[in-house]
Structure 1
């Protein structure tokens, strides 16, 4: 299957606009040297570089599957930002995040998705549930949907809590790793087309495509992981997990279907 190898632009942060005090990661709205606004995710936040890796992999896999994702860019943060910020907590975060971070294009005028207000059709709901089952994304619940309504379409944001196994690399290589949190997915009740979506999505996520997405991870984000002898091994572990999970997608599809049956 022909496809374009994903490319990410790199921008330089020129202005820290305002913090978004959501959860523990403290992202911020920032302006870059291309004059666009971005939601900036910091390498110095609580989950560190692993959250940026999950954000990158999750977002670009979603994009490959045809789902709406704001543009993801690498964002360079200069040491000067930590010197001029008055808030000590933010100052510490900026100082710990000097260098390469991750940012998503800011969707100005968007509103948080509310399942009581906006109806999502069964095909799209099934596509998103399939994606989050693949990625073990624990953070798309009714309490925190991590979706935005923008220009009459649903956009997915914030995949930093996906691939949670990489915080310990425990049992990550089990092909049929259970994901009980799927029962809490905000769109699960509407996801009635999981089997047809599985048939559609599996061929898209070839080994070659997955490898091209994982290859986007900067080398410096992979360094220092004690579970692996080299960054190459570290990178390959992500590829192996994703390729194996796609190959056994029937397992997580059935898991989601059983969870849905309990709901309805």
Structure 2
């Protein structure tokens, strides 16, 4: 939760709350609606037993407002899910700990196969919007989901892609950019085939030419990957500093073109 959540969240005075004891000794509170400007209490996404109905995609929540979003993010954070989806946006809650399996090679390949290569042998006439709408809900949100859709857009549609990473200091922007760059740089090296282009730009290449140039292309790609990943500490050495809330805070705006 944001550090200032107590200041920006409405808290009715304690005097307006009445505690009632039920038969099972659980406590219930009644709230005087005159303390709310519109005299309405926001609905919460709970089941018949009052248990919060956590959603991986906030767009699927029945009642969407500031409080329900914060409750949903907090519940997922408690369960060890730092990522939550809002349509095509990924919200990241910095867990301040490293989850080994969360960024494993197997996890990278899972999203790459789900998003990039899943339909490489099928009809590719579906639009990117239709593809996202039909496949997004079947897996947990992840930053690799974003990078995989970007790579797919580059490989299939041959359209420039942009990713914007924003957030307050210490939210994890620098590490997120590193993860995205690493995934984009290494995603192709772990797969034997290239996604077919809808514009058929590679269709004219002969099989013999592909075979003869494959080794050279692989070597060049690995060199680019290595240089790309090693560039991050150089930028950090010139533009990062330790602050009260962040040991490795970026003190500059950064635009990276790949």
Q: TM-score, normalised by structure 1?
A: 0.26
Which structure carries more relative contact order (alpha carbon 8 Å, separation 6+)? 1
Q: TM-score, normalised by structure 2?
A: 0.27
Which is strand-richer, 1 or 2? 1
